Structure 1
Amino acid sequence: MRTRDGRGGTTSRSRRAVLAATGGLTAGVAGLGGCLAGTDGVRVLAAGSLAGAFENGVGSAFESEVDLRYEGEYYGTNALLRLVEEGTKHPDVVIGADVDLLRERLYPDRADWDVEFAANSVVLVYAPETALGARLDAGEPWYEVLLEADDGAIAIGDPDLDPLGYRALLMFELAADEHGLDGFRDAMAETASREPDEPQLLAGVEGGDRACAVAYHNMATERDVAVRELPDAYNFGNPAYADRYATATYTTDDGHAVAGSPVVYNAAVPTDADDPAAGREFVSFLLENGDLLADHGLRVDDSLPLPRVHGDPPAVIDP
């Protein structure tokens, strides 16, 4: 991956404390072993941007460490929450890419606790062999380049299905404020093509059908693509800018109003999960394996600080 710079009710706990609260300390895992007897898998419904990390590393590592099969499905966060709300899916773990959205949709009927475990940021991914990509590669201001893009040359996620989609629109709005670009968000909304399948967002860039896409940093690290990093003022990667991010809003087609927020993933074990013990086992694995998540382009450094527990987690298990 090549990169350019972008110029132009929650409590924080130590990782050890969070692992204890979710049953993830060594003694806790051993204690769950009996509860898991007779089961052979954990079913995870996760944000689409985690598909690469979970299918190409996290899932297999979990299976190697724990005697459980990993089964993952991936959708935009808004879409997967609909599936849970409607009872179409009954996962053991739900993982979203917008902390507040998951809580608004699942609390209190379907969840009473969650853990924030990793962070991300928004970047531009581009194909240098295209005319637009060549200009980005040369270091031209990205917003000037995108303003001159042909219809469909830029891809974003579907803002009504996933946070990456509406964060693209919110990023355009915040960038417009930052650089004095009247009408920039509306212009980009009309020009950009919306990809409903988040894991496929970069396929168009790799295949040459799109010149550029708005993606998450971790998605780009796993692909052989060029990347333009964006400033903290609108990349949704710096918690210090949370108040600024929140000034941009979007209302989804099902009426949910969302505000810009740092990209943080949170995991919950639904109250009606078929195998909540397996779900807790997987959440504990995520918290114990921050280095594995970082290897796949996610941020887990303590400066965020992560992990953070929200709600009423399981009772602390003494090591």
Structure 2
Amino acid sequence: MERDGDGVRTPRASRRSLLVAASGAVAGAVGASGCLASADRIQVLAAASLAVALEEHLGPDFEAEHGVRFDGEYHGTNAILQMVETERKRPDVVLGVDVALLRERLYPDHANWDVEFASNEVGVVYEPSTELGTRLEAGEPWYDVLSDAEKGAVGIGDPDRSPVGYRAVHLFELAERGHEIEGFRETMVDRASVDGGDGQLLGGVEAGNRACAICYRSMAVDRDLPFYRLSDGYNFGNPERASEYERASYTTADGHVVHGSPVVYNGTVLSHADRPAEAERFVSFLLERTAPFEHCGLRVPDELPRTRGRVPGEVHQ
């Protein structure tokens, strides 16, 4: 079940439990050297919130159709981009969940094109048996509920490593302004429990040790957890509200200023990819198959895919 910010119940797909630890986990057999591609496989570094869609559906389907092994590794997008910049990893494909951040960090040294292929939204996962969860379940405004949270009761991702983390901070800032709650951002950041990996973010909620967490809708669907939907002004899911989202900002530990933006995934084949043809074929494969993303709680709106730069002919537009 989902509950939106206006107290209306909406249907939610039932999903089996997450099969891989989404943050810091290597879903395929990968070595420690960082040069991971071979003649019959491609290496993909992807946002943690894509792990289920890629591991359960798209990766195996690509292997079956093209005879090329898919090796996926999943982290927060900021962490992925740092790995590429510092050459800790040399993947063929990068899939992130902050369009502007990927372009800022990878253009022009590591990539010269990208394609936007799916979207998501931010909301609150909760445990109904807790006091905060009961209030969210009853449809109380989320910002009133979270204002009463004790320290550690609300989980957020690491804002220095993952967009789902800094989007939580953006959310608190937008609520402080929009609802005139003085000090809400600072208070919530101080009280929140910060998880280093996206895959750990919902563990406390599942175990009943944490009342709620700020996460993507797809993450709630993956784990079959109750999800409180936020209105468009706060869920980062409506491109028409982009200028409003942009008012919020966060400076990461490595000095990058990230502004609020719609939750849109984009991907590219790196300029130094060991298997560029197969990597381009994989990106094209993603664009052709919308059902796995939608099954996993993401969306593929009519305006996607959308490209930028010199997109290779192999990648279908």
By the TM > 0.5 criterion, same fold? yes
Residues 149-195 of structure 1 deviation map (CA, whole Å, 9 limit, x = unaligned): 11111100000001110000101111222222111111100010111
1:227 aligns to what? 227
Other structure's SS at 1:222 match: helix
Q: 1:6 to 1:317 in 2, by over 3 A?
A: closer
| Separation of aligned partners in 1, 2:204 and 2:50 | 18
Quote the residue 1:313 is aligned against.
Answer: 311
**Contact 2:120/2:263 (8 A) holds in 1:** yes
| Distance of aligned partners of 1:138 and 1:287 in 2 relative to their CA distance in 1, 3 Å threshold | same
**One-letter code aligned to 1:311:** G
Give a deviation string over 1:123-156, Cα, whole Å, max 9, x none: 1000001121111111111111111111111100
Deviations 1:35-57 (A, max 9, x none): xxx83211100011111221222
Amino acid at match of 1:122: V
* Partner Cα distance (2:227, 2:99) in 1: 26
Report the residue type matching 2:106 in the other structure. Answer: L
Task: Decide whether the 8 Å contact of 1:52 with 1:219 is kept in 2.
Answer: no
What percentage of aligned pairs have identical amino acids?
A: 55
Equivalent AA in structure 2 for residue 244 of structure 1: E
Per-residue Cα deviation, 1:234-266 (whole angstroms, up to 9, x for no partner): 110000000000011111010001110000000
Contact 2:124 2:214 in 1 (8 A): yes
Structure 1 counterpart of 2:144: 144
Select between 227-236 and 309-318 the one with higher mean Cα deviation: 309-318
Q: 2:12 maps to what in 1? A: none
Range with bigger deviation, 284-293 or 176-185: 176-185
Distance 1:206 1:58 in 2: 26
Distance 2:56 2:202 in 1: 16
Q: Flag the structure with higher helix content.
A: 1
Partner of 2:5: 6
Runs of 4+ that moved beyond 4 A: none
Provide the residue aligned with 1:116 in structure 2.
Answer: 116
Deviation at 1:200, TM superposition (A): 2.1
Aligned residue type for 1:178: G
Shift in CA distance, 95/317, structure 1 to aligned 2, threshold 3 Å: closer
User: For the Cα contact (< 8 Å) 2:46–2:75, is it kept in 1?
Assistant: yes
Structure 1 counterpart of 2:97: 97
**Whole-Å separation in 2 of the counterparts to 1:50 and 1:152:** 26
Counterpart-to-counterpart distance in 2, 1:53 and 1:220: 13
Alpha-carbon shift at residue 4 of structure 1 (Å): 0.6
- Alignment-derived partner of residue 58 in structure 1: 58
User: Residues 91-135 of structure 1: CA distance to partner in whole angstroms, max 9, x if unpaired?
Assistant: 110011100000000000100000000011001000001121111
TM-score for both structures, normalised by structure 2? 0.87
Q: CA deviation at 1:64?
A: 2.1
C-alpha distance in 2 between matches for 1:149 and 1:238: 28
Describe the superposition over 1:4-31 as per-residue Cα deviations: whole angstroms up to 9, x where unpaired: 11138xxxxxxxxxxxxxxxxxxxxxxx
- Could you tell me whether the CA contact under 8 Å between 1:249 and 1:260 is conserved in 2? yes
CA contact (8 A) 1:51 1:199 kept: no
Structure 2 residue runs without a partner (length 5+): 8-37
SS at match of 2:214: strand
- In the alignment, does 2:67 pair up with 1:67? yes
Task: Name the TM-score, length of structure 1 as normaliser.
Answer: 0.87
Measure the CA separation in 2 of the matches of 1:317 and 1:49: 23
**C-alpha deviations, 1:216-238, integer Å up to 9, x for none?**
01111121211100010011000
Task: Give the conservation status (yes or no) of the 8 Å contact 1:98–1:264.
Answer: yes
Distance 2:99 2:224 in 1: 29
> CA shift at 1:316, angstroms?
6.8
Map 1:223-262 onto structure 2 (within 5 A).
223-262=223-262
Instruction: Give, in whole Å, the separation in 1 of the partners of 2:66 and 2:221.
Output: 27
Match for 2:272: what amino acid? D
Task: Give per-residue Cα distances to partners, 1:62-97, cap 9 Å, x unaligned.
Answer: 222221111100111110100000111011100111
Q: 2 CA distance for matches of 1:205 and 1:316?
A: 43
Matches of 2:137 and 2:56 in 1, distance apart? 29
Retained in 1: the 8 A contact 2:153–2:192?
A: yes
Alpha-carbon distance between aligned partners in 2 of 1:91 and 1:185, rounded to the nearest angstrom = 36
Corresponding residue of 1:158: 158
Aligned to 1:200: 200
Unaligned runs of 5+ residues in structure 1 are 9-37
User: How far apart, in 1, do the equivalents of 2:315 and 2:138 lie?
Assistant: 55
